[in-house]
Amino acid sequence: MSAPALGAPLLELHGVTRSVHIPDREPLHILQGIDLSISTGDHVSIQGRSGSGKSTLLNILGLLDVPTTGELYFDGRPVSSMGEKQRAVSRGAQVGFIFQQFNLLPGRTALENVMTPLLYARGTQFWQRERLAARMLERVGLGDRLREKPHKLSGGEQQRIAIARALVRSPRLILADEPTGALDIDTGQRVMALLDEVALESGAALVTITHDANVAALAQRHYRLGDGILNAPELAA
Ligand SMILES: Nc1ncnc2c1ncn2[C@@H]1O[C@H](COP(=O)(O)OP(=O)(O)OP(=O)(O)O)[C@@H](O)[C@H]1O
Coil, strand, or helix at residue 104? coil
Percent of the chain predicted with pLDDT > 90? 83
pTM for the model stands at 0.91
Domain boundaries, the chain: 42-64+83-235
> Which residue has a Cα nearest atom 24 of ligand 1?
50
Ligand 1 centroid to Cα of residue 232, in Å, is 22
Report ipTM (2 d.p.): 0.96
Counting ligand 1 atoms within 8 A of each CB, the residue from 21, 25, 52, 224 with the most, and so the one to mutate, is 52
**What superfamily would CATH give domain 42-64+83-235?**
P-loop containing nucleotide triphosphate hydrolases (3.40.50.300)
Q: What pLDDT, on a 0 to 100 scale, did the predictor assign at position 214?
A: 87
Q: Dump pLDDT digits (tens) for 129-148.
A: 999 999 999 999 999 999 99
Q: Where are the alpha helices (DSSP H) in 33-108?
A: 54-61, 84-94
Ligand 1 centroid to Cα of residue 18, in Å, is 11
Instruction: List phi, psi (to 5°) of 128.
Output: -105, 25
pLDDT at 123 over 60: yes
Q: What pLDDT, on a 0 to 100 scale, did the predictor assign at position 7?
A: 57
Q: Dump pLDDT digits (tens) for 143-153.
A: 999 999 999 99
Supply the DSSP string of 141-192, one letter for each residue: T-TT-TT--GGGS-HHHHHHHHHHHHHTT--SEEEEESTTTTS-HHHHHHHH
Instruction: Name the strand (E) or helix (H) holding 71.
Output: strand 69-74
Burial class (CB in 10 A: 0-12, 13-18, 19+), 183: buried
Percent of the chain predicted with pLDDT > 70? 95
Q: How confident is the model at residue 204 (pLDDT cuts 50, 70, 90)?
A: very high
pLDDT at 1 over 50: no
β-pair type (205-210, 173-177): parallel
